[in-house]
Structure 1
Amino acid sequence: MDIYGNALLDFHQSGKADILWLHNSYDEPEEMPIEVFFRGEDDMPEIELKALSLCKGKVLDVGAGVGSHALLLDEKKIDVTAIDISPTAVQIMHERGVKNPQLQDFFQVKEMYDTLLFMMNGIGLTGTLQGFENFLGSAKQILNPKGQLVFDSSDISYLYDDMPMPTNQYFGEISYCYEYKKQKGNWFNWLYIDPTTLQRLSKQHGWNCKIVYVDEQDQYLARLTYP
């Protein structure tokens, strides 16, 4: 069941929705503000606007949600394909006027692109540090020469200020589960990667990594290129 998509659809159709809860593996459930997925350019934080300004050539917006970033790229006449694994999100993208939305899993992509864009910590879909390393290998296969990865993430070590760090896994590996209208979805793995670890793994796998922006909440924007 597309729990996340159901919440998005309610908000899309009526401008309001019940609470979308995000259960996690480290603390109490958190309320996920649905309106954030529908924001326009004026409501986007600087880190996202900076990311969009870096997009060039043929762009793949991965985990595009309801297409807010793709819509802005469309307006700028940038060739963007917006993909998501939620059928409902893709339906909403169509209805919102996104030019090229597709129901697709990133790991099944075969076409070539110049920019791979992952917004709102979309790089988290790699799930684990090992998943991220595997991703660095697969991304090379669908990037044109001089292509780039553009994504934001954050160092979440602060979560463990008052409790011990995990000893059996990287501290940025989290599990989540959506709940909406008393229905729960499946648990899934999500990754937050700190900048130091990112730069180490990028170099190890032959990528050039540049941190191009850091905001006041310790979220950062990274641009990776492959020689």
Structure 2
Amino acid sequence: MKDLFGQAMWDYQHGQYTEDLKTETTISEEDDLPVSYLFRTFAQMPPLEQQALQLARGRVLDVGCGAGVHGLYLQNERGLEVHSIDLSPKAIEVCHLRGLRNAEVQDVWQAKGQYDTILLLMNGAGMCGRLKQMGAFYTHLKTLLAEGGQILTDSSDLLYMFDQHPDGSYEVPLYFDYYGEVDYIVRYKGQEEAPFPWLYVDYNTLQNVAHAVGLDCELLAEGEHFDYLARLSH
């Protein structure tokens, strides 16, 4: 991987910002992602994100931490012990420069330890990439939960992006194994990342997977754009 997300964050941190990231999926056209958004403050975060950070407690694992916006708030404003992980070496370097104490390059599949809160934000519920991998993914996360622990995660139901029939049903092309499965493409400063799988999962599907692996699932809040915040727990 070229680590374009990490490079964009590194450039921004070092005062070398000149352009934004461009993102595209198999079901959406190219769009700009402002690099500044990856450095947002708590006040600039969407309400669902703010709610998740207010509900975090105890020892926290922040998965896919990026530039550390969630971890820094929990560490500095709420005094929590936060362990932040990301696949991007440059993102972790930025986290260290910004004062995040416990940040390391790590794949969540290799993570160990016990945590009271696991954060999967910015559509983290679909971090596993494909629906068929969700069971194994949440089974692994379950091993990282301390007694009484919680997983706070968000996602979006993409059904609204498809044509709706008069009877209320939606016209989803047959080539989709699941309509929330997409391939994600990132471009930055003339370079393009190889497409990688991502998953937007509706709440009912998330709930079914959670129950199948022995986790409770609670819908905490719904946003204005078919998005939601959920809590999974023992």
TM-score when normalising by structure 2 = 0.92
Q: What code does the residue aligned with 1:74 have?
A: Q
CA drift at 1:41? 1.4
Q: Which residue of 2 aligns with 1:33?
A: 34
Match of 1:88 among 84, 87, 90: 90
The secondary structure found in structure 1 opposite 2:32 is strand
Q: Which residue of 2 aligns with 1:24?
A: 25
Match of 2:179 among 171, 174, 180: 171
Q: Is the 8 A contact 1:125 1:190 kept in 2?
A: yes
- Cα displacement string for residues 39-83 of structure 1 (whole angstroms, at most 9, x for unaligned residues): 111111211111011111111000000000100000211011011
Q: Which residue of 2 aligns with 1:144?
A: 146
CA drift at 1:15? 6.8
Q: Which residue of 2 aligns with 1:48?
A: 49
Match of 2:120 among 113, 118, 121: 118
Q: Which residue of 2 aligns with 1:72?
A: 73
The secondary structure found in structure 1 opposite 2:53 is helix
Aligned length: 226
Q: What code does the residue aligned with 2:156 have?
A: S
The secondary structure found in structure 2 opposite 1:120 is coil
Q: What code does the residue aligned with 2:183 have?
A: S
CA distance in 1, matches of 2:39, 2:154: 18
CA distance in 2, matches of 1:218, 1:15: 35
Q: Is the 8 A contact 1:7 1:17 kept in 2?
A: no
Q: What code does the residue aligned with 1:45 have?
A: P
Structure 2 residues not aligned, in runs of 5+: 165-169
Q: Is the 8 A contact 2:49 2:121 kept in 1?
A: yes
Structure 1 residues not aligned, in runs of 5+: none
Q: Is the 8 A contact 1:154 1:218 kept in 2?
A: yes
- Cα displacement string for residues 4-59 of structure 1 (whole angstroms, at most 9, x for unaligned residues): 11111222222733131112111321211211110111111211111011111111
Q: Which residue of 2 aligns with 1:102?
A: 104
Q: How many percent of aligned residue pairs carry the same amino acid?
A: 38
Q: Is the 8 A contact 2:9 2:91 kept in 1?
A: yes
Single out whichever of 63-72 and 135-144 deviates more from structure 2. Answer: 135-144
CA distance in 2, matches of 1:166, 1:83: 36
CA distance in 2, matches of 1:120, 1:186: 20
Q: Which residue of 1 aligns with 2:190?
A: 182
The secondary structure found in structure 2 opposite 1:28 is strand
CA drift at 1:182? 1.2
Matched, 1:8 2:41: no
Q: Which residue of 1 aligns with 2:167?
A: none
CA-atom RMSD, angstroms?
1.5
CA drift at 1:165? 1.4
Q: Which residue of 2 aligns with 1:60?
A: 61
CA distance in 2, matches of 1:88, 1:186: 18
Question: Which aligned segments of 4 or more residues in structure 1 are displaced greater than 4 angstroms?
Answer: none
Match of 1:207 among 208, 212, 215: 215
CA distance in 2, matches of 1:54, 1:17: 36
Q: 1:214 to 1:15 in 2, by over 3 A?
A: farther
CA distance in 2, matches of 1:141, 1:203: 15
TM-score when normalising by structure 1 = 0.94
Q: What code does the residue aligned with 1:156 have?
A: L
